[in-house]
């Protein structure tokens, strides 16, 4: 018999996917994120999961509804084949107003309150627009993280890889699409 391919998930560190719960792990039964992900992959009904890192609790979801909510002790995984939520908020970048239509502009996917640690090409001063332009004009740039706080010397961080996203307020990341 043919063995099905393992399920692939898009992982969102530091985000909780509210709603759609059809099952949860038993209280006191401490699970790892990997075990939670495997539980979801083994059930045809499961489209996503949220794992609580503080309590080791796993929530299985049969639908993806709403936005991902920033939550420090949560890791959510959504089947790659499932519709991905839009986690874009309105707000401002420095003195530039941005909307939920996509702060990063064409050619980029917007990830608000998200940082991608490591894989830095370099840190730069300048405006958000110059940061985006610098990434577009750098062939090995896969995206950038923009620090919204004004009191840091380097607000633009170009990345050669966009791996391991994690929740970080005041950071906007733009991933080349």
Give domain status of residue 150, yes or no: yes
Asked which of 79, 111, 130 is the last residue of a domain, the reply is 79
Q: Is the pLDDT of residue 4 over 80?
A: no
Give pLDDT tens digits for 49-81.
Answer: 999 988 889 999 999 876 777 788 888 888 887
Check residue 7 and give its pLDDT: 67
71 part of a folded domain = yes
Where residue 132 sits, what CATH number does that domain have? 3.50.4.10
Residue 84, domain member (yes or no): no
Q: Which two tokens stand for residue 88?
A: 């874009």
* 99: containing domain: 91-176
Examine residue 86 and state whether it is found in any structural domain, yes or no.
no
Region class of 56: left (phi > 0), else alpha (psi between -120 and 50), else beta: left
Check whether 171 has a pLDDT greater than 70. yes
Within a domain: residue 1?
no
Nearest to 176 by CA among 122, 106, 123: 106
User: Other CB atoms closer than 10 Å to residue 56's CB: what's the count?
Assistant: 16
**Structural domain count of the chain:** 2
Say if residue 88's pLDDT is above 50: no
């Amino acid at each position: 018999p043919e063995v099905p391919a393992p399920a692939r998930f898009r992982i969102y560190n530091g985000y909780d996917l509210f709603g759609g719960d059809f099952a949860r792990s038993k209280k006191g039964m401490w699970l790892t994120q990997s075990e939670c992900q495997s539980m979801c992959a083994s059930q045809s009904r499961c489209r996503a999961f949220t794992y609580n890192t503080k309590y080791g609790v796993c929530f299985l979801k049969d639908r993806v509804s709403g936005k991902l909510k920033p939550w420090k002790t949560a890791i959510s995984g959504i089947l790659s084949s499932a519709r991905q939520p839009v986690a874009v908020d309105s707000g401002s970048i420095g003195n530039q107003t941005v909307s939920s239509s996509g702060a990063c502009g064409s050619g980029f996917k917007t990830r608000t309150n998200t940082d991608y640690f490591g894989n830095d090409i370099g840190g730069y001063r300048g405006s958000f627009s110059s940061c985006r332009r610098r990434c577009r004009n750098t062939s090995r740039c896969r995206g950038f993280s923009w620090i919204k706080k004004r009191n840091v010397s380097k607000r633009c961080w170009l990345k050669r890889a966009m791996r391991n996203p994690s929740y970080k307020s005041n950071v906007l990341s733009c991933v080349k699409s």
